[in-house]
């Protein structure tokens, strides 16, 4: 934190005159610094998009939310998320850099739970 010179109203013990002391400067939060704290939504490049089995091609969390909300059947979801692993979670973690959302997706067992996990991640933006 920066320091700035502040003149006090108290007399100095040595000279009786007003003393200058260093005090922490007040921190001002600008719109830019607040914007830096909020992570932007990652969009996958074409070669790293998620291809749902016989379904849509997804490029970000918003499209995954839309697909889970009505474009993906239970069978399509099961194709990508089952005992062998969770392709959605792997893609979200490795391509979209959303580790917390990926952890939540790994804990889900169905489309509704996956949709809640993605919506929670999007609300946190």
pLDDT digits (tens, 9 = 90+) for 6-41: 554 555 555 555 555 555 555 555 555 544 456 789
Residue 106 has pLDDT above 90, yes or no: yes
| Helix or strand (DSSP H, E) at 20 | strand 18-24
Query: Each residue of 63-92: pLDDT tens digit?
Result: 999 999 999 999 999 999 999 999 999 999
Quote the CA–CA distance of 113 and 66 in Å, as a whole number.
Answer: 14
Judge contact between 105 and 86, C-beta under 8 A.
yes
pLDDT at 26: 55
Q: What share of the chain is helix, strand, coil (3-state, %, to 5)?
A: 45, 20, 35
pLDDT at 124: 87
């Amino acid at each position: 934190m920066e320091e700035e010179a502040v003149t006090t109203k108290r007399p100095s013990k040595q000279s009786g005159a007003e003393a200058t002391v260093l005090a922490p400067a007040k921190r001002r939060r600008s719109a830019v610094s607040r914007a830096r704290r909020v992570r932007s939504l990652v969009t996958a490049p074409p070669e790293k998009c998620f291809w749902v089995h016989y379904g849509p091609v997804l490029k970000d969390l918003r499209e995954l939310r839309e697909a889970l909300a009505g474009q993906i059947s239970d069978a399509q979801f099961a194709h990508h998320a089952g005992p062998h692993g969770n392709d959605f979670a792997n893609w979200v973690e490795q391509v979209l850099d959303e580790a917390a959302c990926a952890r939540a997706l790994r804990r889900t067992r169905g489309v509704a739970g996956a949709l809640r996990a993605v919506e929670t991640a999007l609300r946190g933006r």
